[in-house]
Amino acid sequence: MIRDPKSGQLKPFNFTRLLDEVPELSKFDVKISTHSFRTPIDSSDMQPEIWMELAHLIESEYNNYDGFVILHGSDTMAFTASALSFMFDNLSKPVVLTGSQLPIGTIRTDGKENLITAIEIAAASNKGKAIVPEVCVYFEYRLYRGNRTNKFNAEHFRAFQSPNYPLLAEAGIHIHYNHAHIAKAGKGKLKILPLLDKNIAILKMFPGITQQVVNAILGAENLKAVILETYGSGNVTTEKWFTDAVKSAIKKGVLILNITQCAAGTVEQGRYQTSAQLEKAGVVGGADMTTEAAVTKLMHLLAYCETTAELTRKLKKNLRGELSA
């Protein structure tokens, strides 16, 4: 982002100006090429169609480069990283998303360090093989698995966290890679799975939620799946009207996935009486997936699974390191 001199507002800038803002890039001993979308957008305008475009772009250039860096606004970065992780099969090269909290043109911007180190990570190899062959997020000296992250801070430079999975790397004087927790490279040819189904919704529990609101969401036209953001380890109200609404939606073919509102921890349906009813009703437990991973995994699986049984099975399966086995 850059600051508009007239309005003072932040707006996207064309990445062809990148070398002007970060001249240090010319000192890299690697070949760097840039691609800019015709109309740069604020990340709040991100849509699944752009994820598809990104996946196709990386596929088309996959054999020409050792790694890829995506410059992205921080607000929806975790969604994009999660989506891309499911869209790539047999990935063997780094796809690193990074951005900044302060605009790239400001003196105190964190964007320069984030970008420079992200490029170094994307180019890093050992014996001709990429060190980090997965979709990840680099921000404020830390490298995270993309589908394990969420943005938790709008003020500090350390904007992201991965509470349920260790860091992939940490940058100081040297970049220290956590090899034991980095995904293994795919052995076959890269394959992209670009289709996404957007017919999902999020229903977040809160004290005082009304029957009208719940019914409006669960009864939405063309709805195929709902992410139920629950309390603690997967708990909800025991009000009969709520249980009946959940049962009715599932009976109509709507899949319901239980994700905790907590930043850390996991869903354990049946541990408490307040979640046992969900288990009996057929709600699928989402374990320790982030909401961002749950949204994009559902979009991905709904586009490719032919039956509810297949969808349920794959939701519970660890596909790209998005949940703990």
Using DSSP's 3-state secondary structure scheme, residue 142 falls into: strand
Phi, psi of 126 (to 5 degrees): -135, 115
Given this model, what pLDDT does residue 100 score? 85
Q: Who has greater pLDDT, 215 or 9? A: 215
Using DSSP's 3-state secondary structure scheme, residue 18 falls into: helix
Which pLDDT band holds residue 20 (cuts at 50, 70, 90)? Answer: low
Q: Per the domain annotation, does 58 fall within a domain? A: yes
pLDDT in tens, 222-280: 999 999 999 999 999 999 999 999 999 999 999 999 999 999 999 998 888 778 899 99
Q: Note whether 219 and 292 are same-domain residues.
A: yes
Given this model, what pLDDT does residue 70 score? 95
> How many CB atoms lie under 10 A from the CB of residue 6?
6
299-319: string of b/e by CB count within 10 Å (b at 16+)?
bbbbeebeebeebbeebeeeb
User: Is residue 110 predicted with pLDDT exceeding 80?
Assistant: no
Q: Note whether 173 and 215 are same-domain residues.
A: no
**What pTM did the predictor assign?**
0.92
Kind of pairing, strands 225-230 and 255-260?
parallel
Mean pLDDT of the chain: 91
Q: Note whether 62 and 170 are same-domain residues.
A: yes
Q: How many domains does the chain have?
A: 2
Return the minimum-mean-pLDDT range out of 82-96, 163-177, 268-282.
Answer: 268-282
Given this model, what pLDDT does residue 274 score? 75
Contact 283, 268 (CB under 8 A): no
Q: Report d(CA 261, CA 315) in Å as an integer.
A: 18
Given this model, what pLDDT does residue 157 score? 87
Given this model, what pLDDT does residue 111 score? 72
Share of the chain above pLDDT 90, in %: 75
Boundary (domain end) residue, out of 159, 192, 225: 192
The domain containing residue 242 runs over which residues? 200-316
* CATH number of residue 144's parent domain: 3.40.50.1170
Given this model, what pLDDT does residue 109 score? 76
Return the minimum-mean-pLDDT range out of 12-21, 34-43, 275-284.
Answer: 12-21
* CATH number of residue 219's parent domain: 3.40.50.40
pLDDT in tens, 53-87: 999 999 999 999 999 999 998 999 999 999 999 99
Q: Per the domain annotation, does 249 fall within a domain? A: yes
Q: Note whether 184 and 204 are same-domain residues.
A: no
Q: Per the domain annotation, does 325 fall within a domain? A: no
Given this model, what pLDDT does residue 231 score? 96
